[in-house]
Amino acid sequence: MNSQLSAKLKTLPIQPGVYFHKDKNGTIIYVGKAANLKNRVRQYFQNIAAKDVKTRALVAEIAMTDWITVETEIDALFLESEMIKRYKPQYNILLRDDKSPTYVRIGFKDEIPAVSFTRAPLDDGGEYFGPFYNGSAVKKSVRLMRKIFPYYLNQKLPKKGNLDYQIGLTPGLENYEVGSLEFVEKLSEYKKNLRVLARYLKGERKKIQREIERDMKIAAGVHDFELAAKKRNQLRDLSELGRQIIFSREEFLDISKDHAMVRLTEILSLEQPPKRIEAYDISHTGGQNTVASMVVFTNGLADKREYRKFKMRAGGNDDYLHMKEVLTRRFSARNAKWPRPELILIDGGKGQLAVAIQVVNELMMKSGQAPIPIVSVAKRDEEIMISRIGSNIKLDWVEHKLKLPPDNEIEIREDGDFIAINLHKNQTHSHGHARNLLGETSAEYSDLTKLFQRVRDESHRFAINYHSSLRAKSQTKNILEAIEGVGPKTRAKLLRKFGSLKKIRETSETEIAQIIGEKNAQNVKEFLKNQA
């Protein structure tokens, strides 16, 4: 252990947090979480001979350790997942073993909403929270919340008087006749409760606690002591839960400690790190089922509650036209309540960036709003593209670098009115959608490079998922059109209920008949049987 690291370890706090082990080049090689940073991080350097081979190899490479403190263990759990996703550290065994992350799903649109866990999120109307790389920890955390926000584990109602209801883990819908007034009222109350749980998962713990405390005082003021006691117990349980778990990135993450965000502020000469970054991508197959994605990063972290998807109204294979459409719709008056981005990132080169600049600047000027900084990431070389005209970016850092001799780490190239910044000049390792964003060497701006990759990949993934969903539905619709007696309304009912041919094939004729009638159900099952 070097003297600098030894001195740094003496300043470790006893709070929960996420720690970053770095090698001699400053590259993050391991990300971990801790309930007590001081105890957990120091363990790596104690009794090394007794540790496994992987840990000994890791410790041998650690040259420095940094950390971010948070308020609770689950704050740390969720932040750790995001940082692993961004930095892809070589020693994180969960990524190295290529295990799929876990997502929490809440099926608000299901007949009986339930909370479940999955490794493969679908575009099925449910709300997904994640990804989380420590599946067992997030499952334990969400189930601990069941006492405070009772929920079902699946869509099938249990029997009346079941044990889960008696100990307060379910809302008790099974105790009422389905469709009755009491059932409908109870279902509505249950959905509201799930919405609070969703808000809790999104990071609104303190706000929810204040609301519950307010409701408790109001109930007591009107002498509804039963409701007041219920709110008091809920508030007490939330406070107790907060000592163990739950995440709130807006409330607790100190953006000034995120090295990538600091670097981003530097190279774009921004006054402060952008709290909200919006990224856009277009996806289609031969001009069919064209969609656009808008993903949002708040304080440098993926903020999935803010993601939006757009089904393009304009047809054909024209990315410029579609980029114009999605940005026009995003900044239309009907979406005026959406939070304003402090940076827009376009997935594409000079053409897409020029279109985005023209559209957004015109809309901002028309509405009397301040301009928004806009950059793009070019697909071929994964370079950051900035336009001298209209990008709303100060070029102080760029102009300074252009005056200096060539740099071995970065390259800045002028291309007409555009400037291309390559932050990974010596990095040429291919990786998925990116050609050379990752590499074997460590660069001064590698953290920022990985942030750009994370944002860009997330916009691409979200667009691809939506496009794939529409394409699958389109293929299903085309096959259903060939079935005698199955018209547009019948097809719509089937697609709305089942979503895919696989689901329809797996569903019994009796269940299908409840949706579209016996004769149509018989025709559908017979046709699909012959198609198998």
Write out 360-414 in H/E/C secondary structure: HHHHHHHHCCCCCCEEEECCCCCCEEEECCCCCCCCHHHHHHHHCCCCCCCEEEE
The predicted-structure confidence for 189-226, as pLDDT tens digits, reads as follows 899 888 888 877 765 667 777 888 888 899 888 888 88
CA 256 to chain centre: 21
pLDDT of res. 248: 37
Residue 122 and residue 128: Cα distance in Å, rounded? Answer: 9
The predicted-structure confidence for 39-78, as pLDDT tens digits, reads as follows 889 888 888 877 777 788 888 999 999 998 877 776 777 7
Query: Using CB atoms within 10 A of its CB, is residue 163 exposed (0-12), middle (13-18) or buried (19+)?
Result: exposed
Please check whether the domain covering 3-96 is classified as CATH 3.40.1440.10.
Answer: yes
Residue 526 and residue 532: Cα distance in Å, rounded? Answer: 10
Residue 129 and residue 224: Cα distance in Å, rounded? Answer: 35
Residue 141 and residue 118: Cα distance in Å, rounded? Answer: 15
The CATH label, of 3.40.50.620, 3.90.1280.10, 1.10.150.650, 3.30.420.340, for the domain at 255-465 is 3.30.420.340
CA 179 to chain centre: 36
Close Cβ partners of 411 (under 8 Å, ≥ 6 residues apart)? 421, 422, 425
Structure tokens belonging to residue 120: 């493969």
481-531: CATH homologous superfamily?
A: 5' to 3' exonuclease, C-terminal subdomain (1.10.150.20)
Per the CB < 8 A criterion, the answer to whether 190 and 169 are in contact is no
pLDDT of res. 314: 78
Residue 249 and residue 254: Cα distance in Å, rounded? Answer: 9
Give all strands (DSSP E) within 287-349, no chain letters: 288-298, 301-302, 308-311, 343-347
> What are the domain boundaries of the chain?
3-96, 104-248, 255-465, 481-531
Name the residue among 17, 30, 191, 18 with its Cα closest to residue 115: 191
Read off the pTM. 0.56
Per the CB < 8 A criterion, the answer to whether 452 and 459 are in contact is no
pLDDT of res. 432: 44
Helix axes 205-221, 181-201, angle to 10 degrees: 140
Residue 230 and residue 226: Cα distance in Å, rounded? Answer: 6
Statement: residue 89 has pLDDT above 50: yes
The predicted-structure confidence for 349-392, as pLDDT tens digits, reads as follows 889 999 999 999 999 999 889 999 999 988 767 788 999 998 99
CA 446 to chain centre: 22
